[in-house]
Amino acid sequence: MSGFIPTAYSLLEHSTWVRLCRAWAARGASEGGTTRELLEYERPGWEFHAKGIWYTPAGEKWPIATAIGSPNYGYRSLHRDLEAQLIIVTVNPRLRQAMAGEVAALTAHAQQVDEQRFLGPGRRASRAARLAVRMLRSFL
Number of domains in the chain: 2
pLDDT value of residue 71: 59
| Residue 72 clears pLDDT 70, i.e. is over it | no
pLDDT value of residue 94: 97
Does residue 95 sit in the same domain as residue 51?
yes
CA 8 to CA 125: how far, in whole Å?
8
Does residue 99 sit in the same domain as residue 127?
no
- Mean pLDDT value across residues 112-135: 76
Domain that holds residue 22: 1-33+114-140
- Taking the complete model, does pTM exceed 0.85, yes or no? no
pLDDT value of residue 32: 55
Per the prediction, the chain carries an average pLDDT of 79
Does residue 52 sit in the same domain as residue 105?
yes
Does residue 51 sit in the same domain as residue 102?
yes
